[in-house]
Amino acid sequence: MVVGHGMVGHCFVEALRDRDLDGRWHITVLCEEPTPAYDRVALPCYVGTWDRGTLALTGNDYAGDDLVRLQVGERVITVDRDAHTVTTSQGQEIGYDALVLATGSYPFVPPIPGNDLDRCFVYRTLDDLDAIRAAAEASEPGAVGIVVGGGLLGLEAAMHCGCWV
Residues in the site for ligand FAD, rule: CB under 6 A?
A: 3-9, 30-33, 40-41, 43, 75-76, 102-105, 124, 153
Q: How far is the CB of 84 from ligand FAD (least distance, A)?
A: 17
Nearer to ligand FAD, 99 or 135 (CB): 99
- DSSP, collapsed to helix, strand or coil, labels residue 85 as strand
Angstrom CA distances, 15 to 8, 26, 106, stand at 10, 14, 25
Strands across the sheet containing 85-88: 76-80, 85-88, 93-95
Q: How far is the CB of 101 from ligand FAD (least distance, A)?
A: 8
Nearer to ligand FAD, 100 or 135 (CB): 100
Q: How far is the CB of 100 from ligand FAD (least distance, A)?
A: 11
Nearer to ligand FAD, 17 or 75 (CB): 75
Distance between CA 159 and CA 138 in Å, rounded? Answer: 20
